[in-house]
């Protein structure tokens, strides 16, 4: 149960990072296309403001992807370790529940014959589900807040306990000729996590009705539990959930990236060769950011994302093109389709314009500039 609780949190982490919600970086390659598409629409004012956002968005997405790449092997290793530990725990649990006993009852003339095996349940393992009482850590709930406090799993150590006792059939002694018909010798093999003290001296007295215990400790996994704990402990260093939970439409996420400031200085302050993240004086950048995105980003959503969301683009729909707002498109294929269609139209318009300019140049005679003439008329 403890292992299930410990791994459930990280399984949830993996599911979350691989199934993001809109606004998270893994989802955002689509939104990056959205911003880029809007940038292609050549709204100069938006382009300058959008460039730092695109740069920072790429940085955030890259960190998310790096963390996913780094975390995946750790999660896979922990899953394999968890599978091994689960099998060991299952074996431990079953051995603890096993009813392993042999009872020999003497027959006529105090002899042990084939019919003397009155009880033989060697190796019998009943079907037994795990219950809360089977563990000593009931109630532990592993959450993000306390995951790093989760203790290592203990060694899967069991002690095989062989309890031997004897009853001669009426009295309390089996160490002399008094062993009679119906005398019973019992061997009871159990497995326990408790400490067992050897007590063979019980049979030095005249009575053997008190079992003589013979213990034999065994570690089901040996040093493998140490390796497994190391792999589980590595889950405490996962970064994907934190990196991939950042919301790109949140100003603090974007403005916290160095690339945001670098590109903002390039575009908003027209310093195209800038490679720094600060200005001299610092207020120059602060003023530019405030003008572009509002004080502390209060207009970031309105000045960037709202305008992007409202852009109409063409997408394929049942064999024909239909218009749709970018903000309503969550499918990456649709966004790529919209971008390609827009680029095709732009290229077509550019080609037509070039052809018109070429024809105009050919029609112009020596010393004559038709465009100039039209302008001067």
Q: What pTM was computed for the model?
A: 0.65
CA distance 342 to 304: 20
> Tell me: the pLDDT tens digits for 145-168?
666 777 787 788 889 999 988 877
Which has more pLDDT, 367 or 294?
294
pLDDT at 278 over 90: yes
Q: How far is CA 317 from CA 162, 322, 324, 331, in A?
A: 76, 6, 10, 13
Cis peptide leading into residue 281 (ω within 30°):
yes
Euclidean distance between CA atoms 172 and 109, whole angstroms: 19
* Topology adopted by domain 2-74+239-362: Variant Surface Glycoprotein, subunit A; domain 2 (1.10.470)
Q: What is the DSSP code (8-state) at residue 99?
A: B
List pLDDT tens digits, range 82-108: 888 888 888 888 888 887 888 888 887
Q: What is the CA radius of gyration of the chain?
A: 39
* Domain range annotation of the chain: 2-74+239-362, 97-222
28: confidence class by pLDDT, cuts 50, 70, 90: low
In terms of Cβ atoms closer than 10 Å to its own Cβ (0-12, 13-18, 19+), residue 198 is exposed
In this prediction, residues 74-84 reach a mean pLDDT of: 89
Residue with tokens 């065994």: 218
Rounded Cα distance, 326 and 310, in Å: 6
Q: Which residues neighbour 95 within 8 Å (Cβ) at sequence distance 6 or greater?
A: 125, 158, 191
The residues pairing with 298 across neighbouring beta strands, listed in sequence order, are none
pLDDT for position 176: 62
Q: Which position has the token pair 């218009």?
A: 323
């Amino acid at each position: 149960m403890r292992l299930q609780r410990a791994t459930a949190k990280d399984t949830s982490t993996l599911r979350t990072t691989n199934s993001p919600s809109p606004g998270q970086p893994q989802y955002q390659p689509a939104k990056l296309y959205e911003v880029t598409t809007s940038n292609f629409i050549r709204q100069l004012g938006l382009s300058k403001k959008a460039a730092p956002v695109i740069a920072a968005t790429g940085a955030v997405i890259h960190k998310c992807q790096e963390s996913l790449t780094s975390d995946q092997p750790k999660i896979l290793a922990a899953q394999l370790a968890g599978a091994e530990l689960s099998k060991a725990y299952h074996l431990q649990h079953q051995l603890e529940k096993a009813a392993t006993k042999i009872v020999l009852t003497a027959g006529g003339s105090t002899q042990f014959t084939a019919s003397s095996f009155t009880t033989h349940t060697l190796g019998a393992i009943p079907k037994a589900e795990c219950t809360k009482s089977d563990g000593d850590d009931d109630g532990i709930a592993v959450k993000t807040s306390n995951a790093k406090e989760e203790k290592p799993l203990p060694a899967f150590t069991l002690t095989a306990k062989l309890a031997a006792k004897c009853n001669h059939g009426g009295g309390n002694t089996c160490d002399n000729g008094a062993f009679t018909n119906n005398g019973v010798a019992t061997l009871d093999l159990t497995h326990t996590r408790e400490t067992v003290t050897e007590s063979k001296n019980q049979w030095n007295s005249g009575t053997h009705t008190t079992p003589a215990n013979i213990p034999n400790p065994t570690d089901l996994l040996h040093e493998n539990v140490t390796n497994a704990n190391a792999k589980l402990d590595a889950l405490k260093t996962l970064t994907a959930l934190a990196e991939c939970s950042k919301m790109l439409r949140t100003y603090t996420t974007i403005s916290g990236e160095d690339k945001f400031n670098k590109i903002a200085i390039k575009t908003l302050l027209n310093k195209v060769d800038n490679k720094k993240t600060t200005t001299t004086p610092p207020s120059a950048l602060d003023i530019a950011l405030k003008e572009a995105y509002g004080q502390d980003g209060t207009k970031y959503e309105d000045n960037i994302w709202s305008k992007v969301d409202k852009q109409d683009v063409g997408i394929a729909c049942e064999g024909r093109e239909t218009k749709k707002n970018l903000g309503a498109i969550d499918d990456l294929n649709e966004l790529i389709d919209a971008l390609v269609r827009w680029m095709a139209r732009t290229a077509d318009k550019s080609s037509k314009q070039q052809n018109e300019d070429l024809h105009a140049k050919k029609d112009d005679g020596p010393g004559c500039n038709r465009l100039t003439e039209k302008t001067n008329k």
